[in-house]
Chains A and B, each alone.
Chain A
Amino acid sequence: MVPAASLRNAWVKFGQFTAIQDISLEIEAGAFYSILGPSGCGKSTLLRLVSDLIPPASGDVSIFGKTTEAARLAREFAFVFQDAALLPWRTALENVELPLEMGRSRGIQIPVSDKSPMELLELVGLKGREHALPHELSGGMRQRVAIARALVCKPKLLLMDEPFGALDEMTRDHLNLQLLKVWEETGVTILFVTHSIPEAVFLGQKVLMLKAHPGRLHEIVDIDLPYPRTTEVRDTAEFTRYSAYLRKLLEAC
């Protein structure tokens, strides 16, 4: 099977500064990856590299066998930012529809999800709030709109940069469960950056641990916990074991 994303000896530099040093990595299609690492180690840079926002200084990045640019034009991936990045003058529904309007005049083929924007909002639990403006929604609700917006073009790869980092723990737990549901229903590949070890273990099939100064891949940890995962999984001995292991890795970084 073609990997969802493949990096070969990829480097990223900002001037003299090396943000990512020689990462080689294959992202298995359909899988859920959590990305952990000390702050400033290049997690966001890695997602921005994959999403064609910044070019590699050297090396190769491909998405489903295509260049990142071709994948961008084909809408094969979508991005969810830490602050939802909604347009404040558009309602929840209109924000979800934005990707269907953008890029049109460039003449690109825009894939459309089998689910309508309305149904996507329902999928993320926002039925009834379709016509609310972002400032009328809570932080958690705004983030859910952003997720629905990311799904509207039926992406095969979903890049999420600390999407729940600014939310309180209860909301975050709830959204984690909802995200797993979305993942199971859509079969999308997910790269999920977080700074929370429990969140990384709870969500991911694999955890990519990055190292700082310069940013590089440290270790890939398989999380062998069965899906569908429920909140109780957090109380198991294995969960604790994985968390403890990742904490040690993180401290060693």
Chain B
Amino acid sequence: MTAVDETLGMPMDDDAAEKALARRARLTAVATPVLTAIGLIATWEIGVRAFGVPSYIAPSPSEVATTLVTEFPQLMRNFWPTLFESVLGFVVGNVAAVLIAVAFVHSRMVERAFFPIAVFINTIPILAIAPILVLIFGAGLTAKVVIAALICFFPTLVNMVRGLQSVSPQALELARILSATKSEVFWKIRLPSSLPFLFSALKIAATTCVIGAIVGEWVGADVGLGALIIDATFNFRSALLYATVFLSSGLSVLMFAAVSIAERMIVRW
């Protein structure tokens, strides 16, 4: 009886040991970058204090943190417009890219006609085209959305075309044997098989659309994180500048996380 208990007990212990090991590995994976970041911030704080760097050149992390709290209402007032422009640009740019990708896959002619134009537009630096767009659409919301959309557009177009073409030849032969129509092949085979490609593009777009919105605000705006960055820079309010930059990257992280969660829920294979 004791012998049986022991043999039964053994794998359980092994299991527990393995789980503990896995937990430690996960903990190390999280702890390493966090500790590194804390270390860097501490070095920065100490460096700024030790060398007496003036605050308008490089504020200390504690100053930035204080500003984040004291200027929170102002930061938020500028955060929402940028979030709105980013999300709108993300939606517009990606929807356009997906629709055009579908047209490209559907017709070689359309692809031949428009792909070179898409490549050309993509080669223009966003910083160079932003003023043009602000001139065309004015200093309002539209220009920022267009810039954010433009920056999302190309990676999604290219990935989506590849995704729609990624169907295995055998799946297409199967569809043919089943006498499937073109639209059935599209909805039931091509579109689902493009989703992993689409999501890798959306993850890029999630962060670049924020860049687009901010660049748009630099050129012409009086609200938004981009406008606040310009304002804080010209007024030598470095702590506010840093806090704004911090919030901008927070916005990117937020967008990225949202897309990643959606991906994990949708692409389960």
Contacts and interface: CB of A to CB of B under 8 A. Distances in A.
Interface in A4-54: 48, 51-53
Contacts of B176: 52-53
Interface in A33-82: 48, 51-53, 72-73, 75, 77-79, 81
Contact of A135 (B183, B189, B269): B269
A89 B170 contact: no
A48 B173 CA distance: 9
Nearest to B266: A89
B26 interface: no
Interface string B190-201: 001101000000
A105 B184 contact: yes
B3 to A, nearest CB: 34
B269 A51 contact: no
Most A Cβ at <10 Å: residue of B178, B188, B193, B269: B178
Interface in A71-115: 72-73, 75, 77-79, 81, 83, 85, 87-89, 98-99, 101-106, 108
B179 A102 contact: yes
Q: Is the interface of B mostly helix, strand, loop or mixed?
A: helix
B177 A72 contact: yes
Interface string A125-166: 000000001110000000000000000000000000000000
A102 B192 contact: no
A78 B177 contact: yes
B268 interface: yes
B122 interface: no
A98 B188 contact: yes
Contacts of B174: 79, 81, 85
B178 A103 contact: yes
B123 interface: no
A161 to B, nearest CB: 10
B269 A88 contact: yes
B170 A81 contact: yes
Interface string B228-269: 000000000000000000000000000000000000000111
A51 B177 contact: yes
Most A Cβ at <10 Å: residue of B171, B177, B189, B269: B177
A48 B176 CA distance: 11
B268 A89 contact: yes
A237 B180 CA distance: 48
B210 to A, nearest CB: 30
Q: Contact size class for B?
A: 20 to 34
Contacts of A88: 193, 269
Q: Contact size class for A?
A: 20 to 34
Nearest to B269: A88
B192 A87 contact: yes
A108 B175 CA distance: 14
Interface in B76-100: none
A102 B269 contact: no
Contact of B269 (A79, A89, A99): A89
A166 to B, nearest CB: 13
Contacts of B195: 89
A207 B242 CA distance: 78
Contact of B181 (A48, A78, A89, A105): A105
Given A89-B268, A135-B269, A102 B178 contact: yes
A75 B192 CA distance: 25
B268 A102 contact: no
A102 B173 contact: no
B192 A89 contact: yes
A247 to B, nearest CB: 30
A83 B181 contact: no
Given A89-B269, A134-B269, A102 B170 contact: no
Top 9 A-B residue pairs of the complex, sorted by shortest distance between their CB atoms: A102-B178, A85-B170, A102-B180, A103-B179, A88-B269, A81-B170, A89-B269, A89-B192, A105-B181
15 contacts: A75-B179, A85-B168, A85-B174, A87-B171, A87-B188, A87-B189, A87-B193, A88-B193, A89-B193, A89-B195, A101-B188, A102-B178, A105-B184, A106-B179, A106-B181
Interface of B: 168, 170-171, 173-181, 183-184, 188-189, 192-193, 195, 267-269
Interface of A: 48, 51-53, 72-73, 75, 77-79, 81, 83, 85, 87-89, 98-99, 101-106, 108, 133-135
Given A79-B174, A106-B181, 12 more contacts: A79-B177, A81-B173, A83-B170, A85-B168, A85-B171, A98-B188, A102-B175, A102-B180, A102-B184, A104-B184, A105-B183, A108-B179
